[in-house]
A and B are shown apart, each in its own frame.
Chain A
Amino acid sequence: MERIYLDHGATTPLDPRVLEAMIPFLKEDFGNPSSLHFFGREVKKQLEEAREKVAGILGAEPEEIIFTSGGTEADNLALGGVVRALREKGKHIITTAVEHHAVLDTCTALKKEGFDITILPVDCYGMVEPQHVKEAIREDTLLVSVIYGNNEVGTVQPLEEIGQITREKGVLLHTDAVQTVGNLPLEVEKLQVDLLALSAHKFYGPKGAGILYCRQGIEIDRMLYGGGQERGRRAGTENVPGIIGMARAMEIAVEEKEENTRRMEKLRDKLIEGLLSMEDVYLNGHPTRRLAGNVNASFEYIEGEALLLSLDYKGIAASSGSACSSGSMEPSHVLLAMGIPEQTAHGSVRFTLGRHTTEEEIDYVLEVVPEAVQKLRDMSSIYQGKGEGK
């Protein structure tokens, strides 16, 4: 049977070149980088080289890189760490309705601590209006947090414009850039961001390794107590194999960015076009300002979960914006924020292409999806039959 992976937004396979870079650190180079002796010193050297590599790609200084356990921790630290350190100076945080839960739920927790949260709306493409950011900034605003490339619908936010505003107003800007490595520019100066979160397993690196870029001079309260690693900003022995692999993965992603992006965009657009040629299917997210690998579509009259199961049966792995499958019955907060009706949001499926996705795979998907959709529609109690529409 075919086995087609179109869920690269969830995670990516480890690149063999990354694995190769990691292996020594899972074997002979096992020392603790904090140790004084040569076992530790050798590893420490490699760890710092990885830091320099990552900093170079971001156009940052090595001291501005904090290694974390992943994107979630980086987001938690960026928001919680910064606003708690600045508590005396204000209490207001601005974010958007289309953030990942790593940001949104952190805001919810901060609200309980007494911080004020403003959640900005988005347009029907999931885009934030920079003017809204400007209007929302108050005297006591500490931080603005805007996702760079959306994990569900792929929409790319106008970060530079937002960055210009936050710079002018003297508030900090954090971005969750987890979905963008190997696809969009990452230079922090160009993006005008002060904090930026990344996660290795989204760019063919290992799981459990992430990065928080934190501009020099920004105070940050630690969340983990213990050793003095990461300049006292993140206690705990470093995940050395993970970090080494992450730096290598990032290097590869950036080297191959143009080529991969071009190829993936072509396949993405072919998939979008094919899906939209079906009746009552809509694209979610921006038609052009979107991540190279992201396709998110709503199929009217059916549940996304049911379509996913049908596709799984045919050897196609995709995911659903409808949270039916994850236990909560709420449809995706991102789709709802874009003004998509609940029933339509329930019928959404996300296909995320990767480096290794082929044209044959897309052709196969375009063969299978219409059949699967028609079968479910014929079964659906709210479908009136072909051509009758709504």
Chain B
Amino acid sequence: MYSEKVMEHFNNPRNVGDMEDPSGAGEIGNVRCGDVTKVFIKVNGEGIIEDVRFRTFGCGAAIASSSMLTEMVKGKTVEEALKVSNLDVADELGGLPKQKMHCSNLAADALRAAIEDYMKKQEK
């Protein structure tokens, strides 16, 4: 049911783990299934995401899309990263089964939360 790309990311997820002193952290729970993703970002002086990490309690689609998303936004500015939607992630993964589309929201929303957290800290 999953594409090869999904399985590849699921079996070899990139950027897994926690981060010490992140510039921003976000945590999102999926209201439909109770699954949870955390995303941490390290942003440099030019507003570029230098490093990104995730941890996911979720299904294969959630893990693969978390992994793919982190790869897609690493090296981008926060503004660019905000433009990456869950649909982009699903596309990049070669598509997700329809009933699994909601799983890709998890990572995208957690990243958004991490960026908001980072921006809030910047304002202070």
Q: Indicate, yes or no, whether A interacts with B.
A: yes
- Using CB atoms and an 8 Å cutoff, list the residues of chain A in contact with chain B: 301-303, 305-306, 309-310, 313, 324-325, 327, 329, 342-343, 346, 378-383
Q: Is the pair B59, A306 in contact by a Cβ cutoff of 8 Å?
A: yes
Bin chain B's interface residue count.
Answer: 20 to 34
B13 contacts which chain A residues (CB < 8 A)?
A: 379
B36 touches A381 (CB 8 A): yes
B59 touches A382 (CB 8 A): no
In the complex, chain B residues whose CB is within 8 Å of the CB of A309: 2, 7, 10, 60
Q: Are B10 and A381 closer than 8 Å at their CB atoms?
A: no
B56 touches A380 (CB 8 A): yes
| Bound CA–CA A342/B35 (angstroms) | 11
Contact, CB under 8 Å: B60 / A305: yes
Cβ contact within 8 Å between A302 and B57: yes
- Answer whether residue B34 sits at the interface, using C-beta atoms and an 8 A cutoff: yes
B122 CB–A CB distance under 8 Å: no
16 more A-B residue pairs beyond the given contacts A301-B57, A303-B62, A379-B55, with a C-beta to C-beta distance below 8 A: A302-B57, A303-B59, A306-B10, A309-B7, A309-B10, A313-B7, A313-B11, A325-B1, A327-B99, A329-B32, A329-B33, A379-B16, A380-B55, A380-B56, A381-B36, A382-B57
Interface string of B58-79 (1 = CB under 8 A from A): 1110110000000000000000
Which of A306, A327, A343, A378 is in CB contact (< 8 Å) with B60?
A306
The verdict on A325 contacting B55 (CB below 8 Å), with A313-B11, A342-B34, A381-B37 known, is no
Does B109 count as interface, using CB distance less than 8 angstroms?
no
Query: Which of chain A's residues has its CB closest to B31's CB?
Result: A329
CB-based contact A343/B34 at 8 Å: yes
Among all A-B residue pairs, the 3 with the closest Cβ atoms: A327-B99, A381-B55, A305-B59
B27 on interface, CB distance cutoff 8 Å: yes
B110 to chain A, nearest CB (A): 9
Chain A residues positioned under 8 Å from B34 (CB to CB):
342-343, 346
When distances are taken between beta carbons in the complex, the residues of chain B under 8 Å from A383 are 57
Q: Evaluate contact between B36 and A382: CB separation under 8 angstroms.
A: yes
A325–B27 Cα distance when bound, in Å, is 23
Q: Does B38 contact A (CB under 8 A)?
A: yes
Alpha-carbon gap, A380 to B38, bound state (A)? 9
Instruction: Contact check, A379 vs B63: say whether CB atoms are below 8 A apart.
Output: yes
Q: Report how far A303 CA is from B33 CA in the complex, Å.
A: 10
* B27-A381 in contact (CB<8A): yes
| Nearest CB of A to B10, in Å | 6
